[in-house]
Homo-oligomer: A and B are copies of this chain.
Amino acid sequence: MNAPDLSCATDLPADRSACAARDAADPLARFRAAFDLPEGLIYLDGNSLGPLPRAAATRIEAVVRQEWGAGLIRSWNDAGWIDLPGRVGDRIAGLIGAAPGSVTAGDSTSINLYKALNAALSLMPQPTGRSVILSDTGNFPTDLYVAQGLCAASGGRLHLRTVAPEALAGSVDGDTAVVMATHVDFRTGRMHDMQAVTRAAHAAGAAMVWDLAHSAGAVPLDLAASGAECAVGCGYKYLNGGPGAPAFIYVRPDLQDRVPPALSGWMGHAAPFDFTPDYRPAAGIRRQQVGTPPILSLSALDAALEVWADVDMAALRRKSLALSDLFIALVERDCAGFGLRLVTPRDHGQRGSQASFACPADLGGGYPVMQALIDAGVIGDFRAPDLLRFGFTPLYLRHVDVWDAVDRLRQILETRRWDDPRFHARAAVT
């Protein structure tokens, strides 16, 4: 987190072959072969949906044909489906600086956030005068929506307050029950200081809930050291678990048995197969499970996480910053004069694993530029109102990919190729 703020331009490679030389020396280069990437495509959107790990394709076929097809109901025991949420949780725990047994996988990020907020609120001494869930305007909308729903259901007892991301730590006060923040901003890539924000929450007597959707698998994390009460995150971005992959929830080990689960279902029961009429929560993190998890999707995530077993997270971080530094420097040099404005912090200590540029109105606000870039084989994404967003995923991206991506962006801007009507038609999902 405290890496020096290297000027992006200091060690710009002279040409594409200099990028290729960096790739040849890359200690993470071998991981690219673990993914089934379309030939010729440059994929800078692993922060929206990670690509297909070869291991996931193989696993899913086995789960469908052998475990489901041949094993049928027996696979709940024989293939260990019943323990899959915890096994996947333990793999994720290893990537976010959490202890084994503190994470379980299943449900969506939104639903896990609902559980986490309820868990955090239940830790407040009762009755509490604290009425605020504090968050920031950079939080992902679904996080704010979940909190709003919870506040609406409280009958006026709770309120959501959002402040600017930079003001978050300084805004915690005696009325704050929970601080809820997404560690890395989905638009700007700005990264909160996890330790400092959590300290501020605790200093004011509030609980801390982190959303690690854009952090898990993207940056080194030490969740346990932060002391945060709860965290959630996403399986389908940097973890490469597949479209809509199950999400995860972390509850600090000393609190797991103190929090009554907000969603009490049979998979979180102490003895689900006793089929007793009364709910009795399981010990530990398992009580945060609810219904039967989607085994096909969860198995794909499990296989995707196997890739991570040998990844050196410090090396990952170094390469992530090298790639985003390179991208920023090349865009600012080669696309100068088109009005693109970096909104991602240059400071490494405040940057996640992406880079976003705001587009001026005379580039159609950015949407058609991104469509033209996708058409040219470079997939990033557009985020309203005007952002071109690019994710940098060190397991499969190369320095030459960054070089080529900027080269294609430059051509699109110089030839105004984006100003073709077909790039202006909005799709359902942007």
Contacts and interface: CB of A to CB of B under 8 A. Distances in A.
Contacts of A74: 374, 379
B68 A149 contact: no
Interface stretch (A10-18, A109-117, A338-346): A109-117
Count chain B CB atoms within 10 A of each CB in A148, A149, A269, A384 and give the residue with the most.
Answer: A149
A15 B147 CA distance: 64
Interface string A117-128: 000000000000
Contact of A69 (B36, B141, B149, B381): B36
A292 B213 CA distance: 12
Given A145-B269, A296-B243, A111 B110 contact: no
Contact of A243 (B52, B68, B109, B114): B68
B60 A60 contact: yes
Contacts of A411: none
Copies in the complex: 2
Contacts of A75: 243
Contacts of A68: 49, 51-52, 242-243
A36 to B, nearest CB: 5
Interface in A44-92: 45, 48-49, 51-52, 56-57, 60-61, 64-65, 67-70, 72-77, 81-83
Query: 9 tightest A-B contacts by CB?
Result: A108-B291, A149-B264, A110-B265, A110-B291, A294-B297, A243-B295, A142-B266, A145-B279, A52-B69
Interface of A: 36, 38, 41, 43, 45, 48-49, 51-52, 56-57, 60-61, 64-65, 67-70, 72-77, 81-83, 107-111, 114, 137, 140-142, 144-146, 148-149, 152-153, 162, 187, 236, 242-247, 260-267, 269, 272-279, 290-298, 300, 374, 379, 381, 383-384, 427-430
